[in-house]
């Protein structure tokens, strides 16, 4: 079917979204490879790539900054990178820390937050979730990097929508009641932290040696000054995602569940006015080639097995085709790029080069 090239024409950001395990990371890396091959300076942000894929991109070390991939790695496999390919593995914790450093009014406040136990817990869980840090990183690269194209892989969330909603959730967190209670010197928060809670905290401190109350108040006071910065940042990230220079590709496998999720995700994109570019249907089974006739002298047992395998493949191909048909009709015939099921995992340059071949037609 189609090729991905026209969908990326003139874009600065491409987001590969979709449900878990469908091939988002593979697609993101192969897209980046293809566009770098076409002369662009591309950075791909990968999220938890398989170890071997990371190795083949030269990402042995977890660095939170893009690293230039040695073009030699590719030319050995017949892929000539005319531009530049930069790759990074997202490090959520470091991305979140960097954001604090950027938004803090001064280095001392930044240090106060970073060394705070509450922050450390928080940045490792809720607010430091990959959904949020992935786009925080994207924003940073867009603002402070000089790439022609950014390719963003998305986290393996069960719900692809978490990703779209990340800026909103962060804003709500900072505008939420909990934080205001702490920021307010007196009032309800003051009272709660007065008697009962104060006793609990001091018992805990005696037992654990951790002055939680102190940590909490330092955390919220220091962070309080950054609320506006965060809110503004979240707003701008939202704008970046809906910018016409951005495009979302929905990656899916031609199976029932991912197809339903793709339909759902597509609707959400539309509702949120995010620019949908097209579909990448990955791992499609093709019907067996040939006319099904087996060599006459084939061992009977073997012939039976070959026949059974061919039969099974034909059934898979039929099922896949029906799922793709259903998906495309529901979405109103969007641009669709098909990548077939390959033999074995895609974890080396050769595999990536094959996928990029299918993506770019």
Residues that bind ligand ATP (CB under 6 A): 20-26, 50, 156, 282-283, 339, 341-342, 345-347, 355
Of 268 and 286, which CB lies nearer to ligand ATP in the complex structure?
286
Q: Say if residues 153 and 46 touch (Cβ distance below 8 Å).
A: yes
Pair of tokens at residue 298: 């084939």
Of 46 and 246, which CB lies nearer to ligand ATP in the complex structure?
46
Work out how close the CB of 352 gets to Mg ion at its nearest, in angstroms, rounded to a whole number.
14
Q: Which of Mg ion, ligand ATP, none has residue 316 at its interface (CB below 5 to 8 Å by kind)?
A: none
Q: Say if residues 98 and 64 touch (Cβ distance below 8 Å).
A: yes
Work out how close the CB of 343 gets to ligand ATP at its nearest, in angstroms, rounded to a whole number.
7
Of 113 and 349, which CB lies nearer to ligand ATP in the complex structure?
349
Of 11 and 24, which CB lies nearer to ligand ATP in the complex structure?
24
Work out how close the CB of 21 gets to Mg ion at its nearest, in angstroms, rounded to a whole number.
8
**Dihedral, CA of residue 299, residue 301, residue 304 and residue 305, to nearest 10:** -110
Q: Which of Mg ion, ligand ATP, none has residue 346 at its interface (CB below 5 to 8 Å by kind)?
A: ligand ATP
Q: How many CA atoms lie within 13 A of 327 on its CB side?
A: 32
Binding site for Mg ion (CB under 5 A): 24-25
CA pair distance 225, 108, nearest whole angstrom: 13
Reported as type and span, the H/E element at residue 48 is: none
Q: Which of ligand ATP, Mg ion, none has residue 193 at its interface (CB below 5 to 8 Å by kind)?
A: none
Of 25 and 252, which CB lies nearer to Mg ion in the complex structure?
25
Instruction: Give the residue nearest to ligand ATP (CB).
Output: 156
Work out how close the CB of 290 gets to ligand ATP at its nearest, in angstroms, rounded to a whole number.
21
Neighbours of 333 (CB within 10 A): 8
Integer CA distances (angstroms), 92 to 98, 120, 152, 255, in order: 10, 12, 14, 31
Work out how close the CB of 25 gets to ligand ATP at its nearest, in angstroms, rounded to a whole number.
3
SS3 71: helix
Integer CA distances (angstroms), 81 to 70, 242, 253, in order: 9, 30, 29
């Amino acid at each position: 079917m189609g090729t991905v090239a026209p969908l990326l024409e003139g874009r600065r950001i491409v987001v590969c979204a979709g449900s878990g395990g469908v091939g988002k990371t593979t697609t993101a890396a192969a897209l980046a490879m293809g566009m770098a091959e076409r002369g662009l300076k591309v950075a791909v942000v990968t999220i938890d790539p398989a170890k071997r894929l990371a190795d083949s991109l030269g990402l042995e070390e977890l660095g939170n900054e893009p690293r230039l991939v040695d073009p030699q790695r590719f030319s050995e496999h017949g892929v000539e990178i005319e531009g530049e390919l930069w790759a990074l593995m997202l490090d959520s914790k470091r991305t979140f820390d960097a954001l604090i450093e950027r938004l803090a009014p001064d280095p001392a406040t930044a240090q106060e937050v970073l060394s705070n136990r509450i922050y450390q817990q928080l940045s490792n869980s809720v607010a430091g979730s990959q959904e949020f840090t992935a786009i925080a990183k994207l924003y940073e690269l867009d603002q402070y990097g000089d790439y022609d194209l950014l390719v963003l892989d998305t986290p393996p969330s069960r719900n692809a929508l978490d990703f779209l909603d990340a800026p909103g959730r962060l804003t709500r967190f900072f505008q939420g009641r909990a934080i205001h209670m702490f920021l307010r010197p007196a009032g309800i928060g003051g009272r709660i932290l007065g008697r009962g809670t104060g006793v609990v905290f001091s018992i805990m401190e005696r037992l654990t040696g951790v002055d939680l109350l102190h940590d909490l108040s330092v955390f919220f006071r220091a962070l309080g000054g950054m609320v506006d910065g965060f809110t503004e940042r979240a707003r701008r990230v939202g704008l970046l995602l809906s910018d016409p220079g951005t495009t979302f590709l929905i990656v899916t496998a031609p199976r029932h569940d991912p197809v339903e999720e793709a339909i759902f995700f597509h609707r959400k994109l539309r509702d949120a006015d995010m620019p949908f570019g097209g579909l990448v249907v990955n791992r499609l089974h093709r019907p067996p080639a040939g006319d099904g006739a087996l060599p006459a002298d084939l061992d009977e047992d073997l012939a039976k097995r070959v026949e059974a395998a061919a039969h099974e493949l034909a059934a898979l191909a039929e099922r896949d085709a029906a799922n793709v048909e259903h998906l495309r009709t529901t979405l109103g015939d969007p641009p669709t790029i098909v990548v077939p099921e390959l033999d074995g995992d895609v974890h080396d340059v050769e595999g990536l080069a094959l996928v990029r071949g299918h993506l770019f037609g």
